[in-house]
C-alpha cells in the first residue's frame, strides 16, 4: 500500500466518521423531540381545567357578594336619607370627569415624550454641519452676485447651512 493510497483512505475515513457523528446528532434530536411530544400527549388537561374553573367560580362568588353588599348599603342609606342627594351625584360626576381629564392629559404627555424622543433621535442621526464655501472664481459671477444681493459684503464666499455637498 502506497502512501498516497493511505492518505486517501484516511480522508475517506474522516468524512465517513463526520457523517456518522452528524447522523447520531440528528437521531438524538429526533429522540428528544419524540419524548417531548409523547409527554405532551400523556398530560391530562382535566386537572388544570378543573382548577381554573374552580378559581373562576370563586371570583364569580366574590363579585356576587360584593354586589349584594353594595345593594344592601345603598338600600340602607336610601331609606335613611331618602336617597342620594343631587349634590353627591354631581360631585361624583365632577370627580370622574376630572379623573378622566387627568388620565387623558397624562396619556398625551406620555405620547408627546415618546414623540419628542423619537424626533431627537432622528435629529441626532442627521449629519448636518455649517460650512463656508468659496464662490465661483469667475469675475462676471462675482459682479452679478454682489449686484443681485446688496446685503452681501463679500461675493467670494457662499454661506451654506445643512449637509455639505460632496
Domain boundaries, the chain: 129-166
Q: Please report, in tens digits, the pLDDT of each residue of the chain (166 residues total).
A: 789 999 999 999 999 999 999 999 999 999 999 999 998 888 887 887 888 888 888 899 998 998 888 888 877 776 665 556 777 778 888 888 888 888 888 888 887 777 777 777 777 777 655 555 555 544 455 555 445 555 555 556 566 666 666 6
What is the phi-psi region of residue 138: left when phi exceeds 0, alpha when psi lies from -120 to 50, beta otherwise?
beta
Asked whether the beta carbons of 155 and 133 are under 8 A apart, the reply is: no
Minimal CA–CA distance to 156: which of 128, 136, 140? Answer: 136
Residue-level pLDDT at 96: 86
- Whose cell is 379623573? That residue is 99
Q: From 153, 161, 154, select the one nearest 135 (Cα to Cα).
A: 154
| E runs forming strands in 13-143 | 129-134
Q: What is the DSSP string of 128-166?
A: -EEEEEEPP--HHHHHHHHHH-TT-S-TTEEEEEESPP-
- pLDDT at position 39 is 87
pTM of the model as a whole: 0.29
Amino acid at each position: 500500500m502506497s502512501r498516497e493510497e493511505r492518505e486517501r483512505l484516511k480522508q475517506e475515513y474522516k468524512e465517513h466518521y463526520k457523517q456518522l457523528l452528524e447522523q447520531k446528532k440528528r437521531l438524538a434530536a429526533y429522540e428528544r423531540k419524540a419524548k417531548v411530544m409523547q409527554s405532551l400527549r400523556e398530560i391530562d388537561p382535566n386537572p388544570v381545567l378543573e382548577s381554573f374553573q374552580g378559581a373562576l367560580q370563586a371570583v364569580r362568588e366574590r363579585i356576587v357578594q360584593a354586589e349584594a353588599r353594595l345593594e344592601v348599603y345603598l338600600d340602607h342609606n336610601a331609606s335613611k336619607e331618602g336617597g342620594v342627594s343631587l349634590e353627591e351625584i354631581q360631585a361624583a360626576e365632577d370627580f370622574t370627569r376630572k379623573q378622566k381629564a387627568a388620565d387623558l392629559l397624562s396619556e398625551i404627555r406620555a405620547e408627546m415624550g415618546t414623540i419628542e424622543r423619537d424626533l431627537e433621535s432622528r435629529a441626532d442621526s442627521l449629519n448636518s454641519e455649517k460650512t463656508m464655501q468659496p464662490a465661483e472664481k469667475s469675475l462676471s459671477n462675482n459682479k452679478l452676485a454682489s449686484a443681485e444681493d446688496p446685503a452681501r459684503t463679500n461675493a467670494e464666499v457662499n454661506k451654506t447651512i445643512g449637509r455639505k455637498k460632496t
